[in-house]
Structure 1
Amino acid sequence: MSTNRILGTRRSLLTAMGAAAIGISFTACGQKPEGSAAKSANGEEPKLNFYNWDTYIGETTLGDFKKATGVDVNMSLFATNDELFAKLKAGNAGYDVIVPSNEFVTRMSQAGMLETLDHGKIPNFKNVDPAFVNPDYDPGRRFSMPYTWLVLGIGYRKSKVQGVPDSWKYLFDSAQYNGRIALLSESADLVRLAAKYLGHSVNNIPPDLVTKIEQMLIRQKPYVKAFHDDNGQDMLVAGDVDLVLEYNGDIAQVMKDDPDIDFVIPKEGSLINSDTLCIPQGAPRPDNAHKFINYLLDAQAGAAISKTILYPTPNAAAKALMPPAYRDNKVIFPPADIMSKCEYGAFEGAEKASLYEEVITRVRAA
């Protein structure tokens, strides 16, 4: 997940069907979550307030959870991690489970905004792939459980490019595809991937390299058609561009219907994002929250979610239940040798985040 993935890009059948058609209750983004006075056996009312990205859940998941537990899930939506952070920073308005991305797990836990998880109440943690059990952004999974993961690469139209565009050079440092390139507008992602292209880690980028990156991207700016808000797959489908910086899940979705589209993770490596399940500080129903997180990590429930949203799952037991068309898809699950060159971006403080934003603001204004 990008730190600024916007509403509507974690797409699924919910969009086409409409929430009402499948019996899910929503609140508007700005409203407070619902509460209830009735109590269940654990002393908590049989309700749970879930703060999630748009269309980022299985078609029947919330209803199935209610059937299994009697707990009614009220799901409200946020558009970006920044919005989630700001809402919770102002105080928990009644949310029980939230879905921050990896960097924001670090940021929110450091700010005292997340409850410590009781692993004894999440036995389905055993279903998680070992690669996701002990991430750098949350050692020991004290505050988060893995929900999905994503990796950035280049989506491209095969008939419009010469060979496979397997380097960040084509996006950041070349006039070859003049006016046919779209870059993701997220500032930290752009700076980090440019650093990767120049042979550095995506983290701990020194000031002189940040300056070099800014100069390179300003030189490249005339050849870039657009900075997109994570709708690059739509630009590719429409023929507006031929190469786009996008997430593997988004490109995998459109590849199903357009055999001329493909995806590559450049040879220099890339950025991994992961969306997680957390309990915010002050959650009114922590027991129900643990039950819900445990349910989402169930093999059958996890598979149902993956079938709907088509993002890579870190749930090994759920993945095993998925068809080969999903499991063996090298876009959704890139090979290990490629993934070994990819890294998570670490939260390095608000000052560094602001610096990256300023750099890309100057690039876009150039």
Structure 2
Amino acid sequence: MSRILMIGLLLCGLLSACTKKEQVSYDKKEVNLSIWGNYLSPELQAQFEKETGIKINISNYSSNEELLAKIQMGSSGIDVAVPSDYMVDIMRKMSLLEPLKAELIPNKNLVSTEFLKQNFDPENQFSLPYTWTTVGIAVNRELYKGAVHSWKDLLDNPQLKGKFALLDDVRETMGAALKLHGYSVNTNNAAEIQKAKNTLLTAKKNIKMFSSDTIDILNNKEVAAAQAYSSDALQAAVKSPGKIEYIIPDEGTTFAIDNLVIVKGAKHPEAAHQLINFLLSENAEINKVKTILGGPVLKDTQGKLPKELQNNQALFPPDSTLKKMERIHDLGEHNKLFEDSWTEIKTK
């Protein structure tokens, strides 16, 4: 064999090996999911991985703004995320989302129409609903037995001094103070926002912490009460039967639809679509409601749940309660009024 032929064969072998190595790396079966804490059960994760052979790498965030910051950094590696409604609107306008391929998500047809074609994504080009939640007050009744009916009972209550927590989330926390005063959570009135800020500055002297992870602090008795997402409050109640009560304040509160999106430049787009389709299956929906205790988004789910969940008013609020709820909207240039107020509240 000539020396030239030997070198040629050697080079071909090396090139083949390199190509094979690159192909293996490119086809690695995984998907990077960034999601709220306690928002995907280990059972559901294991089921998806077993059925598809695709590994889910999970990261968490405690606010929509934290998720946005991660994505804006450009090196987050996130494929699928679960932002709330108003943040979908922001991300869509900033071209941070990939259009969804409807043909790869046949379970879209199972979604209830009441959760589709919302103003933050009118044609569901970039998002599909995952679950919905409210924000209210969770109370550990072993630590505090007093009446709780309103935001005032949390924010201006001498008996809870040093014993309560607020969400580490600008729009939700400011929203509670705005509701206390009878204002909309989507106000762009500077005087109303100033009044809400002053209420929170006063309350800050008495709070124990800002935290969006309320399950543990309630169950571990770190706080007697907390502003909390309904799903977290209900999960805490399951862990401490008969001890945690969730109250939707009389003044009203926020209602949020959390959505499945694919982040712009996702490295695993096919796996991302597979994950979204799986999470919109009937089996996954029942598991989600039973484990994370978030509101269902598929058709006819309520009747398929255990009786105690079918009758749970935190999961299925009566119309009189729903009428007092608002979804948070992107306020464009007026967002700065909230951001500046939040900076002052957190640093003063």
TM-score by length of 2: 0.80
Identical-residue share of aligned pairs (%): 29
Partner of residue 263, structure 2:
280
Structure 1 SS opposite 2:194: helix
User: How do 1:130-169 residues align onto structure 2 when only pairs under 5 Å count?
Assistant: 130-158=113-141, 160-163=144-147, 165-169=148-152
Structure 1 SS opposite 2:208: strand
Q: Does 1:297 align with 2:280?
A: yes
Partner of residue 16, structure 2:
none
Kindly provide the amino acid, as one letter, of the partner of residue 295 in structure 1: F
Partner of residue 231, structure 2:
249
**If you compute each CA radius of gyration, which structure gives the higher value, 1 or 2?**
2
Structure 1 SS opposite 2:227: strand
Displacement of 1:219 in angstroms is 3.4
Structure 2 SS opposite 1:141: coil
User: How do 1:320-359 residues align onto structure 2 when only pairs under 5 Å count?
Assistant: 320-349=303-332, 352-359=334-341
Contact 1:236 1:243 in 2 (8 A): yes
Displacement of 1:158 in angstroms is 4.2
Structure 2 SS opposite 1:333: coil
Displacement of 1:83 in angstroms is 4.2
Once the two structures are superposed, residues 315-356 of structure 1 have per-residue CA deviations (whole angstroms, 9 ceiling, x without a partner) of: 33555433222332223332232122111111223x544432
Match of 1:229 among 205, 211, 216: 211
Match of 1:216 among 199, 211, 217: 199
User: How do 1:64-213 residues align onto structure 2 when only pairs under 5 Å count?
Assistant: 64-68=47-51, 70-80=52-62, 81-91=64-74, 95-158=78-141, 160-163=144-147, 165-175=148-158, 177-213=160-196
- Summarize the Cα distance change of 1:236–1:49 in structure 2 as closer, same or farther, 3 Å threshold: closer
Structure 1 SS opposite 2:96: coil
Structure 2 SS opposite 1:138: coil
User: How do 1:32-71 residues align onto structure 2 when only pairs under 5 Å count?
Assistant: 37=23, 45=27, 47-53=29-35, 54-68=37-51, 70-71=52-53
Contact 1:299 1:317 in 2 (8 A): no
Contact 1:155 1:262 in 2 (8 A): yes
- Summarize the Cα distance change of 1:124–1:46 in structure 2 as closer, same or farther, 3 Å threshold: farther
- Distance in 1 (CA, whole Å) between partners of 2:41 and 2:221 is 30
Task: Determine which structure has the larger helix proportion and give its number.
Answer: 2
May I ask how many residue pairs the two structures share in their alignment? 324
Structure 2 SS opposite 1:278: strand
Partner of residue 261, structure 1:
244
Displacement of 1:218 in angstroms is 3.0
Structure 2 SS opposite 1:37: helix
- Distance in 2 (CA, whole Å) between partners of 1:90 and 1:312 is 31
Kindly provide the amino acid, as one letter, of the partner of residue 302 in structure 1: E
Contact 1:59 1:308 in 2 (8 A): no
Partner of residue 310, structure 1:
293
Contact 1:132 1:146 in 2 (8 A): yes
TM-score by length of 1: 0.77
Displacement of 1:297 in angstroms is 0.5
- Summarize the Cα distance change of 1:212–1:225 in structure 2 as closer, same or farther, 3 Å threshold: closer
Displacement of 1:87 in angstroms is 3.5
Which range moved further: 280-289 or 99-108? 280-289
Kindly provide the amino acid, as one letter, of the partner of residue 243 in structure 1: A
- Distance in 2 (CA, whole Å) between partners of 1:210 and 1:89 is 27
Kindly provide the amino acid, as one letter, of the partner of residue 98 in structure 2: E
Kindly provide the amino acid, as one letter, of the partner of residue 249 in structure 1: S
Q: Which runs of 5+ in 1 are unaligned?
A: 1-34
Contact 1:171 1:183 in 2 (8 A): no
Once the two structures are superposed, residues 62-82 of structure 1 have per-residue CA deviations (whole angstroms, 9 ceiling, x without a partner) of: 4433554x4513323132444
Displacement of 1:202 in angstroms is 0.8
Partner of residue 24, structure 1:
none
Contact 1:155 1:233 in 2 (8 A): no
Displacement of 1:281 in angstroms is 1.9
